[in-house]
Amino acid sequence: MINKNIIKIRKELDKLDDLFLNILKKRTNLVSKILANKKFKKDIVDKKRISIILKNINRKSRKKKIDPKITKDIWKAMIRSYINFEIRNFKKR
């Protein structure tokens, strides 16, 4: 049996996914601009910056009453993906 409530909620999730993709496009463009300013491949991974980002996400997640484990996992995956993106797209100068 088809649950109409689930279908309705999934349509809302699909709309959010579309918005999220637009945000990821903007983020990717910004990361590309940052990458264009990096002179050495070793500059791609900034552990201090990553630590600050994860601490801020944890704090903001708690404030917004979002499970911080979820947001930490998402941000770690996103950071790892963008590091891989930068490595793939780095051009020696």
Give the tens place of pLDDT for each residue, 33-77: 999 999 999 999 999 999 999 999 999 999 999 999 999 999 999
Of residues 33, 39, 17, the one with CA closest to residue 82: 33
d(CA 89, CA 93): 12
Domain boundaries, the chain: 4-89
Give 16-31 pLDDT, tens digit per residue: 999 999 999 999 999 9
pLDDT at 23: 98
Q: What is the pLDDT of residue 31?
A: 97
Q: Which residues contact 75 (CB under 8 A, 6 or more apart)?
A: 53, 54, 57
CATH of domain 4-89: 1.20.59.10
pTM higher than 0.85 for the full model? yes
pLDDT of 92 reads 61
